[in-house]
Amino acid sequence: MNWLLSRYPKLPLYFQLMRLDKPIGIYLLLWPTLWALWIAGEGHASPANVIIFILGVIIMRSAGCVINDYADRHVDEHVERTQHRPLAQKLISEKQALGLFVGLCATAFILVLFTNEFTVYLSFGGLALASLYPFMKRYTHLPQVVLGAAFAWAVPMAFAAEQNALPDVVWLIYAATLTWTVAYDTQYAMVDREDDLKIGIKSTAILFGDADKLMIGLLQAMTILSFIMIGSNIQASWPFYGAVLVATGLFIYHQWLIKDRDREKCFQAFLHNHWVGAVIFAGLVAHFLIKSPTGA
């Protein structure tokens, strides 16, 4: 390891730029991807696809962080939470950051080539959304919606890889992922709201204003409704609906955390959303085990 660091002294900075030291974004992108794979494969997703999509999630989330920091390179130094990022401190050059982004995207594309033609075509939409999101906060108060669309794009890709088709349930999972992402990323935006107002960055937290908690609650309710509709579509058994009930309780807990709009509590609520995704996935796994206990 010392030899590697001596040869590539900026390696830790690249890891920090990709946020590999903060895996919460990987989890939040991974859970909807696994939901889609398990439903598409009816509990028996292709091991090859599972590996491809897990690696793809890690790589594309890393690429998203790199292009986000590139887009924010002139404003991050003015935000308390982001002022120590490598690009903000000019520890990595803009050219190096863009080179890393291109390399990560190329690696992800190579992975997609091991799936099928339909998935390859869909991957271009995912790349476009991931590249577009960081720049939207300068032009619209709805960048969280673009992020949600980008995160949810893994859902049709997973179905394309597993079934080479996009049945109706795809769009229910897509809707659940979209509303859930906007809800938790609004909690995240509440942390930076004061700084963003000073430097002119837009977000749903600013757009919603004093109605932020209400709007997050409505988005959470829409997510739960989407989960219920997913359950109906796949004729889910009780473990899945039990998971939806637990997820509802977690959303209520998040509302309690953000009730005073305290920065640390809002950030805690954002981080805790990882458990929502994990609970829903556990419910899906249990459902398919009950439906097909022999694994046939």
Query: Where are the chain's structural domains?
Result: 14-291
User: Does the 14-291 domain belong in CATH 1.10.357.140?
Assistant: yes
The Cα 243–Cα 288 span in angstroms is: 13
State whether the Cα torsion 104-40-287-183 is positive or negative: positive
Q: Is the pLDDT of residue 197 over 50?
A: yes
| Separation CA 285–CA 270 (nearest Å) | 24
Residue 276 has a CB neighbour count (10 Å cut-off) of 26
Is the pLDDT at 13 greater than 70, yes or no?
yes
3-class DSSP assignment, residue 167 = coil
Q: Which residues touch 84 (CB under 8 Å, ≥6 apart)?
A: none
Task: Report the distance separating Cα 205 and Cα 228, nearest Å.
Answer: 27
The stretch 249-259 carries a mean pLDDT of 98
Please report the sign of the dihedral spanned by the C-alpha atoms of residue 68, residue 16, residue 76, residue 257. positive
Instruction: Please give the structure tokens belonging to residue 143.
Output: 């960048």
- The answer to whether residues 123 and 109 touch, using CB atoms and an 8 Å cutoff, is yes
Tell me the residue type at 122.
L
Q: Which pLDDT score, from 0 to 100, does residue 34 have?
A: 98
Half-sphere exposure of 280 (CA within 13 A, CB side): 32
**Whole-number percent of the chain with pLDDT over 70:** 95
Provide the pLDDT confidence category of residue 296 given band limits of 50, 70 and 90. Answer: very low
pLDDT of 63 above 60 = yes
Confidence bin at 74 (pLDDT 50/70/90): confident
